[in-house]
Structure formats: C-alpha cells, structure tokens
Amino acid sequence: MSKPLILITNDDGIYAPGIRTLIRVMQEIGDILVVAPDKPQSGMGHAITTTIPLRIKKVFHNGEYNEYATNGTPVDCIKFSDYLLNRIRPDLIVSGINHGSNASINIIYSGTMAAVLEGAINNIPAIGFSVTDFSHHIDLSFTEKYVRKIALNVLEHGLPPNTALNVNIPYFQDQPVKGIRVCRQARAYWKETFEEKKDPHNRAYYWLTGDFCLTDDKDDTDQWALDNNYVAVVPVQVDFTSYNTISLINKWDFHV
C-alpha cells in the first residue's frame, strides 16, 4: 500500500526547531513535502500575499523529500503547495510545532492555525500543533508521541468537512504530560497596550504588548487542560456563522 502524502508547514519559519520535529515524526508515517515561510510569520492570521511577487526556493532535497522556503505567509504555503504537487491532494496537512500556545482566542491571530484552516476549507484533514513554551531551545522530543498518535488517528478516521484540529501541548519542566483531552476553546481576550519608545531622532515608535485575560474557568476548555498538564485537542471549523443568532435577527424590523 502507498504511504500517505503529508504536507508540512509552520509560521515560525523553515529553520525553526518545531518544524524539524514534525518532519522527523511525519517521515515515519508517510511521504512528506515541506513548504514553509523563509522567516517567522507569527501573528499573520489568514493573510495572503497579493501586492508583491511570491518567491519560492528549494532549500533541501535528499532524494526522499523536498523542502521549500517562501517569502509568503503560512496560508500562501498551503496554496502554493497545490501548484508544487500538480493538483495532487495531500492526505494530511500538519502545521507547527508552534513555539507558544495557540489555545483559546490565540487561534484568531495564529499563522500556524491559519494554514490548518486553509486546508480545512479544501476538505483536507489538517492539524495544528503548538507547545506552550516560547523558547526555541527546549527539547521537543517529549511531544513526538502525541504528535504521532493524533496524526495517525486523523489519517485512520478522517475529519468532518471544513473541520481541523487545534492541538496544544503543555510544557512543564520535569513534569510528564498527564494525557490527551478533547475539549472546547476557552473564552478569553487580549487586553492590549502600546509601549512607546524613542528612536535616535527622537521620533516615537511603539511595541504592541498586553495581557491574556481568561474569562472562562470551566474544566472542559483547552486552557484548563493546558494549565493542568494535559494535551488539549480542539476541533475547529471554518464556518463562522452564529446559527443561534439567525432566528433572533429575523425578528428585527427590516422594513425599508
């Protein structure tokens, strides 16, 4: 039987340690193609490149698989892979492993998860993997068994149309992960501020900063799972419709 074809991308860039971990694990499972940004693209959300040319360069080839780096966004990587594969659909898309949590509202801003949702739009099973530590120097080998197990399950069982998985893996030094929990996205928001500084010409410039504000203390959320040392698996979808609100708005007076 032929091996599954797995497309790998991320938003931390082609040389980030997280994507190296995904490459090692996915090579054990199937044939792979790597298409990733040539530099970090964190916080890009579902952005695509439309105002400058998209460039792509093969950065690695060993006779078994190819790695390409592009000046585009994570979503560009998914779109361009269709061209590289000559319309052959991958059996699975994996994105990450992102350095930093993409739990709760962070999914809205995440380039890692935007690539996954782009796959879901095209009904390709897709998984985004993140680890809660931002350091690029931690040993990610502890994540491999969870990445492998979840990927194999998706390949075996598939996912519903327009649905993907957001997987966040906790990192507590010297504390083993307790297990895997399937849960919902926690309600939260970012309370942002801008830190003002001055350049050498005394002109103001600003750095965005802020605090993560969790408004949900239930034990069925991704944030609870992570805080309690469980891998959080959240099924997400690309349909943003608030179905419960349709009947409510239909009661409004729209007579013109």
Residue 91 has pLDDT above 70, yes or no: yes
**pLDDT value for 42:** 87
**How are beta strands 163-169 and 179-182 bridged, if at all?**
unpaired
Q: What DSSP state is assigned to residue 124?
A: -
Q: What is the pLDDT of residues 124-140, one digit of tens each?
A: 999 999 999 998 899 99
The mean per-residue pLDDT over the stretch 70-96 comes to 94
Residue 118 has pLDDT above 80, yes or no: yes
Separation CA 22–CA 139 (nearest Å): 13
Tokens representing residue 153 in the block: 């399950």
Separation CA 39–CA 111 (nearest Å): 12
Structural domain boundaries in the chain: 5-190+218-249
Comparing CA positions, the residue from 197, 194, 190, 179 lying closest to residue 215 is 190
Share of the chain above pLDDT 90, in %: 89
Q: Which of 30-34, 44-48, 134-138 reaches the highest mean pLDDT?
A: 30-34
The mean per-residue pLDDT over the stretch 232-253 comes to 95
- Cβ-contact 232, 167 below 8 angstroms: yes
Residue 1 has pLDDT above 70, yes or no: no
∠ CA 132-35-57 to the nearest 5 degrees? 130
- Cβ-contact 70, 56 below 8 angstroms: yes
The mean per-residue pLDDT over the stretch 4-13 comes to 97
DSSP assignments along 89-119, one per residue? PPSEEEEEEEES---GGGGGT-HHHHHHHHH
The pTM of this model reads 0.94
**pLDDT value for 34:** 97
Tokens representing residue 200 in the block: 């050498």
Separation CA 67–CA 88 (nearest Å): 17
The mean per-residue pLDDT over the stretch 181-209 comes to 95
**pLDDT value for 205:** 96
**pLDDT value for 238:** 95
Give the SS3 label for residue 224: helix
Cβ density class 83-94: b for 16+ within 10 Å, e for less? eeeeeeebbbbb
Average pLDDT over the chain reads 95
Fold that domain 5-190+218-249 belongs to in CATH? Stationary-phase Survival Protein Sure Homolog; Chain: A, (3.40.1210)
Separation CA 58–CA 66 (nearest Å): 7
The mean per-residue pLDDT over the stretch 98-107 comes to 95
- Cβ-contact 222, 195 below 8 angstroms: no
Separation CA 31–CA 92 (nearest Å): 10
Residue 245 has pLDDT above 80, yes or no: yes
